[in-house]
Amino acid sequence: MAIRRSRINKRAIEMSRRRRATRGVRVSSFKKFDEEDIIESDVAKAITSALWSNNSSTLQQIYTSSAQTASAGGAYQWEVYQDDPNTNTSASVQFNIAFGHSDGSGSATASGASSQDKTPSKAVYTAFANQLLAPGDDLFTVNSIDAKGMVFICVQRDRFKEKVNPNGWQLDIATGATETLQLIDDSRYSSENSVNGNRVYNVISGTLASGQSSGYTTNLGFFYPDLGIIAIDHSASADLGDGSNMGTQAYANVSNGGTYVDYNKKVYDAMNDSSDGRNFQGRAEEDISSTHYFVRVKNSEYNYSNNPTFSTSVGQLQNSSMVGDPTSYITTVGLYNDENELVATAKLSKPLAKTFAREATIRVKLDY
């Protein structure tokens, strides 16, 4: 019985190569992904980074602009810098300080008018209450007591990316000549709450290194990680001292003849007292998701290059030894949208040789 053997038709292969060589070089530019070529990760990784400029996690010295504090806007808030903006024109704002009082006490209008319901402290308190409290609630309630005076520390939006890292910040504030109130959030002890659509933790006394202060379990305010806001009960500073640096609980009622006190300045001075090593530590946090794109290069694809050293102006190979068996090198993968606009590029660690006898699968990982 005769046995039929399969033979490679070498002549047909050679003729096919010659036809490819004589009809000119054709270069592929785009190739659509199939559905199975794109894998979206369902795991988001929490990545933290330094909260302040210059990749710093700690502010040991802070500054404010003399032009800003001297203007009418300084009565509403103080912008705080890492570098002195009066000498460094490229200095950027790190966070803001704003004092608010529900009755308008503690500040006067820009013109010196005495109407309490029109003072900056009233405007500040009302604005934050509208943003942070539940509908119909006009007062911040700390330890079941209405806190009429509140200090708001607002981290600059571009500093904290997605959120300020819970259990990743510590604020030191002088409450007396030798006493310091050290603040953290209680995320390591308690689950988050949600108020008006905003995640919120309690602000407590403690340090990142040691946790909550022993024997001191009082809630001192609220921390909103997604908004970068720390809201502190202003009168809480009196619990650890005489409150001389931040002001006492007896707010000056300007409409009744009280003396105007710049509480924004008092808070700034209390935070900027570095004699006892006081500082503001913090880290930003963002969830990073990944998508994997599998670029599959078949043996018949991307074997030619449009580099002028590879082919002539009429599409013929420059190197005759490559006729019928060219070699190209893949160095970069470009990802395009449906309008053929380049949206991302991936560089290979080294050029990848590509011939008719070789295929390749390149995995591109895109984090966002």
Tell me what pLDDT residue 239 has. Answer: 45
Look at residue 35 and tell me if it is in a domain.
yes
Spatial separation of the C-alpha atoms in residues 104 and 129, rounded to whole Å: 14
Asked if residue 29 and residue 115 are part of one domain, the reply reads no
Whether 1 is covered by a domain: the verdict is no
Indicate whether 178 belongs to any domain: yes
Instruction: With cut-offs at 50, 70 and 90, classify the pLDDT of residue 121.
Output: confident
> In terms of Cα–Cα distance, which of 106, 282, 141 is closest to 221?
141
How distant is the alpha carbon of residue 264 from its chain centre?
Answer: 26
Looking at the fold, whether 176 and 73 belong to one and the same domain comes out as yes
Query: Quick check: is 122 in a domain?
Result: yes
Place 105 in a pLDDT band, splitting at 50, 70 and 90. Answer: confident
Structure tokens at 215: 């024997």
pLDDT of residue 313: 64
Task: Give tens-digit pLDDT for 198-217.
Answer: 999 999 999 999 999 887 77
Instruction: Give tens-digit pLDDT for 152-193.
Output: 999 999 999 889 999 999 999 877 666 778 899 999 999 999
Res 92 pLDDT > 60: yes
Cα–Cα dist 91/84, whole Å: 7
Total of domains in the chain:
2
pLDDT for 2: 54
Q: Are residues 77 and 200 in the same domain?
A: yes
Please report the pLDDT score of residue 203 as a whole number. 94
Q: Specify whether 211 is located in the same domain as 338.
A: no
Q: Which residues pair with 49 in a beta bridge?
A: 284
Q: Among 287, 317, 332, give the residue marking a domain's end.
A: 287
pLDDT of residue 74: 77
Residues 128 and 276 occupy one common structural domain: yes
Looking at residues 302-313, what average pLDDT do you find? 73
The answer on 60 and 145 residing in a single domain is yes
Residue 258: pLDDT over 60:
no
Is there a single domain that holds both residue 37 and residue 129?
A: no
User: What pLDDT was estimated at residue 338?
Assistant: 86
Q: Are residues 195 and 342 in the same domain?
A: no
Confidence at residue 187, expressed as pLDDT on a 0 to 100 scale: 94
Specify whether the CB–CB gap between 171 and 280 falls below 8 A. yes
| The token pair that represents 75 in the structure block | 């009565």
Q: Is the pLDDT of residue 58 over 90?
A: yes
User: Which tops the pLDDT comparison, 154 or 24?
Assistant: 154
Same domain flag for 20 and 104: no
Name residue 143's amino acid: N
pLDDT surpasses 50 at 247: no
CA distance 251 to 105: 6
- Domain identity same for 30 and 58: no
CB 151 within 8 A of CB 144: no
Can you give the pTM of this predicted structure? 0.70
Instruction: Compute the average pLDDT of residues 323-339.
Output: 85
Closest CA to 247 of 124, 114, 126, 107: 107
| 115: CB partners within 8 A, 6+ apart | 104, 109, 255
Find, among 183, 140, 142, 139, the residue nearest to 164 by Cα: 183
Is residue 2 a part of any domain in this protein?
A: no
Determine the pLDDT at residue 71. 63
The more confident residue out of 30 and 224 is: 224
Of 257, 287, 317, the position where a domain reaches its end is 287
User: Cα dihedral angle (209, 210, 211, 215), rounded to 10 degrees?
Assistant: -160
- How many angstroms separate the most distant Cα atoms in the chain? 122
Domain range holding 110? 49-287
